[in-house]
Amino acid sequence: MQIIHTVQELRQWRKNAGRVAFVPTMGNLHEGHLALVREAKKRADHVVVSIFVNRLQFGQGEDFDRYPRTLQQDADKLAGEGVAVVFAPDEKELYPHVEQRYNVEPPHLQNELCGRFRPGHFRGVATVVSKLFNIVAPDVACFGKKDYQQLAIIKGLTEDLNFNIEIVPVDTGRASDGLALSSRNQYLNETERAEAPRLYRVLNGIADALKGGNLAYADLESAAVRELEAAGWTVDYVEIRRAASLETAHAGDKQLVVLAAARLGQTRLIDNIEVDLL
Ligand code: PAF
């Protein structure tokens, strides 16, 4: 496995690489990332994993500075998965100018759901993913469904900007108690970690209610918020949306997704569950 730090070297390697599957990450890899890598391996001759903590997608006061940077441990994990290349550029390599001059601006969806609470986040994601797509030029790229809104935005930009890349959504990896795997879980203290699986339980409760024929979306959302708040969470949102587009759900919609973001102490967790009423 090679660790490549520059765009030029990556492009050189890419010339002879055949079919490539790509997994973009910010490092600090856990089983959820490795599941993306295993999915990628099934689909191409070579897998490239990028590790880059992207300043552009962090807002003021967010955890950019303390985001764990663990390149050596990450590389050790990836070597065991048969990855061909780890692309780990430094900041100057991807952002040589003081300010990124050209950005990829997603549509209004970027200001909804998580975007309401993280202004500029999805613009930062769309910009770095577009740059990485241009550099790696993969045939396939794998993204986790845990970041459901990110996945929708990346599908949209791939289509609208004509990237010739198949986007493969991968199911959320979970701990045995249901908590969605995330690098941010390590910020939770012991009490918070014990409480954290409630988020998924609450989403499952809504999914069961929907499947049982209760389509009072607003009531289901507010009951979920109340349950979380009563257990000490600060809730950003719990929303039922159309799965394909993330538009507001209407009565009669069959393919839904229930999404939530909420904070336990200082740690913001997100999760979602797809609900198929067909
Ligand atoms: O999901 C992530 O880890 C990041 O948002 C991504 C896609 C690697 C872009 O920085």
State whether the beta carbon of 29 lies less than 6 angstroms from ligand 1. no
For a substitution probing ligand 1, which of 87, 147, 268 has the most ligand atoms within 8 Å of its CB?
147
Which atom of ligand 1 is found nearest the CA of 125?
9
In DSSP terms, 142 is beta-bridged to 168
State whether the beta carbon of 114 lies less than 6 angstroms from ligand 1. no
For a substitution probing ligand 1, which of 29, 54, 121 has the most ligand atoms within 8 Å of its CB?
54
Report the catalytic residues: 33
The answer for residues whose C-beta is within 8 angstroms of residue 214's C-beta and 6 or more apart is 220
State whether the beta carbon of 182 lies less than 6 angstroms from ligand 1. no
- Nearest-CA residue for ligand 1 atom 1 is 25
The domains of the chain, with CATH numbers, are: 2-170 (3.40.50.620), 183-272 (3.30.1300.10)
Q: What is the pLDDT along the chain (278 residues), one digit of tens a residue?
A: 999 999 999 999 999 999 999 999 999 999 999 999 999 999 999 999 999 999 999 999 999 999 999 999 999 999 999 999 999 999 999 999 988 999 999 999 999 999 999 999 999 999 999 999 999 999 999 999 999 999 999 999 999 999 999 999 999 999 999 999 999 999 999 999 999 999 999 999 999 999 999 999 999 999 999 999 999 999 999 999 999 999 999 989 999 999 999 999 999 999 999 999 99
* Per-residue confidence (pLDDT) for residue 98, from 0 to 100: 87
Which atom of ligand 1 is found nearest the CA of 54?
10
CA–CA distance, 230 with 216 (Å, rounded to integer): 21
Which atom of ligand 1 is found nearest the CA of 132?
9
CA–CA distance, 69 with 54 (Å, rounded to integer): 12
CA–CA distance, 258 with 65 (Å, rounded to integer): 31
103 Ramachandran zone, left/alpha/beta (phi>0; psi -120 to 50): beta
* Per-residue confidence (pLDDT) for residue 7, from 0 to 100: 98
The answer for residues whose C-beta is within 8 angstroms of residue 166's C-beta and 6 or more apart is 43, 139, 140, 141
* Per-residue confidence (pLDDT) for residue 191, from 0 to 100: 98
Q: Which amino acid is at 137?
A: A
* Per-residue confidence (pLDDT) for residue 152, from 0 to 100: 98
Stated pTM of the model: 0.97
For a substitution probing ligand 1, which of 56, 100, 128, 130 has the most ligand atoms within 8 Å of its CB?
128
Tokens linked to 72: 């050596």
